[in-house]
Chain A
Amino acid sequence: MKTAIYLEDICHAYGSSISLRHISLEIKAGSCMALKGPNGCGKSTLLKIINGLVFPNKGRYLLFGEPVTKESMKNEIFSKKLHQKIGYIFQDSNAQLFSPSVYEEIIFGPLQMNISQEEADKRAKDCMRLLQIEHLAERAPYHLSGGEKKKTSIACILSMNPEILCLDEPIAGLDEESQELCLDILKGLKKAGKTIIIATHNNDLIKNIADEEYRFYSGRS
């Protein structure tokens, strides 16, 4: 199997507070990696680094063999390709949703790809059906409940059909039925050959889907 993501000796600090110490990690294409650890150990930060939003102070990050750095992300074509390849579902779905309606939120990504309007519309509808949120299509995202927001944010990433999915605490705050639904979808995506990275401290989720787990120790140590 190809290596999708290769991280070598990553260190990161927000100003003077250190968030990641010497993280080395290799994620094979098509596998599922769980990032596990207590609150504040830097899981979200690592996902932001993988998505090219934050840059490590030290260390190397290769995506399919290509280095991702502050300089390479300045190249527009490169960074857009990266953002299409990697889908990122934020921990706080409040922060992720910015469109006036759920439908527009979900069709936002596909509309920017070189596919027809009909195809984009089909994708948006498929994603809403997949996450069982068709009835919310016309609602405004900021008025939804926490779980509904989470499902909307998952749908708006899936509609771009990324190869790699980064999920930050995806099932926290979902009811049991929705948790099962998400698990099913993730299994389906894995079968379709997608690479999945999940930050979580939920052992059930890890047991059910992860091939490997990376254990963080408290960022302070």
Chain B
Amino acid sequence: MEHNIPDWMNLHECHKPKRDSRRFITATLKSISSASSLFRSNPKAYSPADAPVMLFISIALIIMTASSKNLYFSFVMLSVLSVRMCLLEGKDIIKAFLTALYAGIFSAIILIPSVFFGSPHSLISISLKTFITTGIIQCLSISSRWNDITASLKMFAISDLIIMSFDLTLKYIQILCSTCEDMLNALLVRSIGKNREKAASLSGISGTAFLKSKKMSEETGQAMECRCFSGHYERKIRLRHKAGNIISIILFSLIAAIFIYLEFRIS
């Protein structure tokens, strides 16, 4: 038979592995899986209102917080945000809070010089505003599905084609992350000794991931052409939480009223 297996395959392998640093592979694996989980469309979106409403409110609140010249309004927003965060699930509260806190601390550090230039006031107000806006975005992205968010961009007169490219980007980030994860696992299961050319193996992975992404986008383009794609891409938005939407809008109107009162009373 011509398919005879070579002799050495008949023997029992006695492999004594050498130590070698694999920290890089495992660390890369960890960071990739956390990156992909960031963009994974959240299956248990538990937002109290529908994505378009939440998106509108979030953007409006961010604009109001950023443009407000009154520190009282920032405090109002801070309390609103803390109440909103408390409505998240346990693990998510920590995630949202920490992300917002890091952003706030980071901007405070950047603004330290401003204290010496005589405006210590801006240090407090800007880092507070950063904390609030980051917190709002966190609450939105944690409790709504990414897909619903992109679909509701339609509301802001953003063209279908741009929404589609957002959707495809989100999808590709997912696919590429899982491909890289698989390739790193493949490297891990075959890293059974001392790899003299670790850098080469890892650059092979990123190179392959790049080529693969190129091929994938070509193939998606071809597949779309085959399905008679003509530039028309429409995502339907369904409104599910009637009561939630109304309550959210009422609460939002209250905050907006406070904003107008505080801003224009002073001036």
Cβ of B191 and Cβ of A188 under 8 Å apart? no
Q: Tell me, in angstroms, the Cα distance from A67 to B167 when the chains sit together.
A: 44
Give the interface centre of B1, B20, B188, B205 by most chain A CB atoms within 10 Å. B188
A108 CB-CB contact with B under 8 Å = yes
A95 CB-CB contact with B under 8 Å = yes
Q: Tell me, in angstroms, the Cα distance from A141 to B190 when the chains sit together.
A: 17
Cβ 8 A contact of A112, one of B4, B179, B192: B192
Report chain B residues within 8 Å CB of A127: 6
Q: Tell me, in angstroms, the Cα distance from A184 to B1 when the chains sit together.
A: 9
Report chain B residues within 8 Å CB of A181: 3
Cβ of B189 and Cβ of A163 under 8 Å apart? no
Stretch at the interface among B10-18, B76-84, B149-157, B221-229: B10-18
Report chain B residues within 8 Å CB of A221: none
Cβ 8 A contact of A100, one of B13, B194, B204: B204
State how many angstroms separate the Cβ of B75 from the closest Cβ of chain A.
37
Cβ of A158 and Cβ of B9 under 8 Å apart? yes
Give the interface centre of B1, B8, B9, B16 by most chain A CB atoms within 10 Å. B9
Q: Tell me, in angstroms, the Cα distance from A81 to B17 when the chains sit together.
A: 6
B41 CB-CB contact with A under 8 Å = no
Report chain A residues within 8 Å CB of B191: 80, 83, 112
Cβ of B204 and Cβ of A99 under 8 Å apart? yes
Q: Nearest A residue to B10 by beta-carbon distance?
A: A192
Q: Tell me, in angstroms, the Cα distance from A85 to B189 when the chains sit together.
A: 10
The 8 A CB mask of B180-198 against A (1 = contact, 0 = none) is 0011011111111111100
Q: Nearest B residue to A183 by beta-carbon distance?
A: B3
Cβ 8 A contact of B183, one of A96, A157, A193: A96
Q: How many residues of B contact A (CB 8 A)?
A: 43
Cβ of B6 and Cβ of A97 under 8 Å apart? no
A94 CB-CB contact with B under 8 Å = yes
Cβ of A192 and Cβ of B208 under 8 Å apart? no
The 8 A CB mask of A70-92 against B (1 = contact, 0 = none) is 00000011001101111010101
Q: Nearest B residue to A156 by beta-carbon distance?
A: B190
Report chain A residues within 8 Å CB of B15: 80-81, 84-85, 113-114
Q: Tell me, in angstroms, the Cα distance from A99 to B215 when the chains sit together.
A: 17
Give the interface centre of B10, B44, B195, B211 by most chain A CB atoms within 10 Å. B10
State how many angstroms separate the Cβ of B22 from the closest Cβ of chain A.
7
Q: Nearest A residue to B185 by beta-carbon distance?
A: A53
A109 CB-CB contact with B under 8 Å = yes
Give the interface centre of B5, B179, B185 by most chain A CB atoms within 10 Å. B5
Report chain B residues within 8 Å CB of A84: 13, 15, 17, 192
B99 CB-CB contact with A under 8 Å = no
Cβ of B205 and Cβ of A98 under 8 Å apart? yes
State how many angstroms separate the Cβ of A168 from the closest Cβ of chain B.
11
A161 CB-CB contact with B under 8 Å = yes
Cβ of A98 and Cβ of B44 under 8 Å apart? no
Report chain A residues within 8 Å CB of B215: 142
Q: A76-B22, A192-B10 are in contact. Are A53 and B188 (CB under 8 A)?
A: yes
Cβ of A95 and Cβ of B182 under 8 Å apart? yes
State how many angstroms separate the Cβ of B21 from the closest Cβ of chain A.
9
Cβ of B182 and Cβ of A16 under 8 Å apart? no
Report chain A residues within 8 Å CB of B9: 158, 161, 188-189, 192, 194
State how many angstroms separate the Cβ of A220 from the closest Cβ of chain B.
15
Q: Tell me, in angstroms, the Cα distance from A97 to B211 when the chains sit together.
A: 13
Cβ of B182 and Cβ of A92 under 8 Å apart? yes
Q: Nearest A residue to B216 by beta-carbon distance?
A: A94
The 8 A CB mask of A130-144 against B (1 = contact, 0 = none) is 100000000001100
Q: Which B residues are within 8 Å of any A CB, using their own CB?
A: 1, 3-6, 8-13, 15-20, 22, 43-44, 179, 182-183, 185-196, 201, 204-205, 207-208, 211-212, 215
Contact sample, A vs B, 19 pairs, CB 8 Å cutoff: A16-B44, A53-B189, A76-B19, A77-B19, A80-B191, A81-B15, A84-B13, A84-B17, A95-B179, A95-B182, A95-B183, A98-B186, A109-B192, A113-B192, A114-B18, A142-B208, A157-B190, A193-B10, A194-B9
